[in-house]
Amino acid sequence: MLINFTDPMFSNRVLGFETLVDRLERISNESQSGYPPYNIFKDGLKFKIEIALAGIEKKDVDIELCDGVLSIKHDGPKEDNSAEEALHKGIAKRAFKLKFTLAEDLEVLGAAIKNGLLTVNLERVVPDHKKPRVIEVK
């Protein structure tokens, strides 16, 4: 079933969810390739995104968090002025841009590259007013 978020019937009946609707529209309009491959892990309230970046240095990767969207980008290889001739190129270093839409309560803790894997660590931060609490009956 395809949902048309611009339909007046839909937008008139759903109030206060404008940012959610904007995010859903953005997700439905994005197409992502399978490059570079990545894993997503969850352990309790912690999340980890691993992205395979063989041969790409940390200075060549841009990570940005804007309006709930985590973007990870590489502009591709710089011009190679060496006299070496490549007989076979099996390691892709091409440009890419990955986007991950994050929930409002997810915080990015940091990122690091080690052994060709970029790891981005996230954690769900539950505000005190959303944590379970015991209500005393009087």
Query: Could you give the dihedral angle defined by the CA atoms of residues 105, 106, 108 and 109, in that order, rounded to the nearest 10 degrees?
Result: 90
pLDDT at 128 over 90: no
* 25 shares its domain with 92: no
The dihedral built from the CA positions of residue 104, 123, 117 and 41, taken in this order, carries a sign that is negative
pLDDT of residue 97: 93
pLDDT, tens digit, for every residue of 33-52? Answer: 688 999 999 999 999 999 99
What pTM does this model have?
Answer: 0.70
pLDDT at 8 over 60: no
* 93 shares its domain with 111: yes
Say if 136 falls within a structural domain: no
CA atoms within 13 A on the CB side of 98: 21
Q: What is the CATH number of the domain that holds 96?
A: 2.60.40.790
What is the rounded average pLDDT of the residues 120-137? Answer: 89
* 69 shares its domain with 47: yes
pLDDT of residue 18: 60
